[in-house]
Amino acid sequence: MLKWGRPEIAYQYVAYNENSDVVKGKLDVTTEEQATELLEYAGYQVISLRQRVQSPLLDKLRSGLSQVKPSEMILFYHQMALLIETGMNIVTALEILQEQASNRTLKKVLSKVISDVRGGSQLSVALSKHPGVFSPIHCQSLKVGESTGSLETMLRQISEHLEREVEASKGVKNAMIYPVIAFVVTIVVVIIMVSFVLPAFSKLYASMGAKLPMLTEIVINAGAVLNSYGVYLLLIIVFAGILVWAYIKTPGGRYNWDRLSLTMPLVGKVNHLNQLAQLSRNVSLLFHAGLPLTEIMPLVTQSAGNTVMSEALNEVREEMIGGEGLSRPMSRNKLFLPMLVQMVKVGEETGNLDNTLLSVAKAYEVEAEDKLRTLIGLIQPAMILIIGAVVGLLALSLVSAMYSIYSQVL
């Protein structure tokens, strides 16, 4: 039985990092074993770990009010790289970026980061205390950059990595702007016709006592029903929307929604390609930084925004730990397309996995952009036809009635 609006589970932790500094944070996982495993992979020694029940609506409102935009993070990483390249020390660079930051949350977080760095913490450790702003993948990459003396290079790579992710996300959103606007315009036109135009003509026709064409009678009767019961219909639609939203917030509902987002016609293919491109870039970034696959896979699994993808990656990780490598477990799951599997196999054999996956990411991003342009090209004429059909039907019903009355008078 479904429990609508069921709270989501997370785990709050207090732990020592590798520098013996105390760190606190939250992990959005469903079991204590998953939380412990992720913390161990991050090199943390757990002090306390407790379950936290969170309200989806409350967390959504909080995140909406305090969320740092991806564009702000891109600018932060890019400017941080530039300042360090000029020879500026990390604390001074952070202070400059804090003064320039317009987002209150980012400014507050940077204040804490500056305090930690002044106290002797590494930049990666100080940033990792704020997983809601700084991704664990990025913090782990910066940690490697610090140990190899290439921090500014890693900062620039993270900036470019984020930029590509944002561009892919914007593409899908921009594709849906026109259909949404067209749909709203259509609804507004129908409401105006039903609320004002049709009642006026209906009274006129009734006063003349003329026999109306069937099409006009159907439209007028439909308008009368909407006028009488429109509020109830709207309430039903809103209630149904709330039920769907609540269902999506449950673990099963979220899984089914994520699966639908990858398989639905037209848009699903674009989402699928973008998910694989993001996965390829994340693995490429971490592998290039020098992390082994055993540490990379938990990070990319946690960062995957799609639960179906997360489940598939978790299965691949378990089989990989069993000694099967990365490409062989991927080949058993249709979610991982043949080109990705083949390039991973080549990368494993040549030891050049970062470059091969970067090539895969670029190829999938280009393919997603092409399919997105095709999708937009299909949506625009389709919406024009729908709007034209609705408005044309209403206009035809009114005009045919006028001609009918005119012929009966004559």
Phi and psi at 352, nearest 5°, equal -115, 45
The length of the chain in residues reads: 410
pLDDT in tens, 147-184: 777 788 888 888 887 887 777 667 666 666 777 787 78
pTM, full prediction: 0.65
Q: Crossing angle for the helix pair 151-192 and 70-85, nearest 10 degrees?
A: 160
Long-range contact pairs involving 368-371 (C-beta distance under 8 Å, separation at least 24): 368/168, 368/171, 368/270, 368/273, 368/274, 368/277, 369/171, 371/266, 371/269, 371/270, 371/273
pLDDT value of position 63: 43
CB atoms within 10 A of CB 142: 25
CB atoms within 10 A of CB 174: 11
Per-residue pLDDT band at 243 (split at 50, 70, 90): very high
Whether residue 62 is predicted with pLDDT greater than 70 in this model: the reply is no
* 400 neighbors 215 (Cβ within 8 angstroms): yes
Higher-confidence residue of 16 and 409: namely 16
pLDDT in tens, 168-177: 667 666 666 7
Domain boundaries, the chain: 1-66, 166-410
Per-residue pLDDT band at 236 (split at 50, 70, 90): very high
* 138 neighbors 158 (Cβ within 8 angstroms): yes
Judged by average pLDDT, the poorest of 55-59, 210-214, 256-260, 346-350 is 55-59
Q: Crossing angle for the helix pair 267-289 and 151-192, nearest 10 degrees?
A: 170
CATH topology (fold) of 166-410 = Receptor-associated Protein (1.20.81)
Structure tokens belonging to residue 344: 């991973």
Residue 23 to residues 15, 116, 128: CA-CA distances in angstroms?
5, 11, 8
Whether residue 247 is predicted with pLDDT greater than 50 in this model: the reply is yes
Please give the DSSP secondary-structure letter assigned to residue 212: P
pLDDT value of position 407: 67
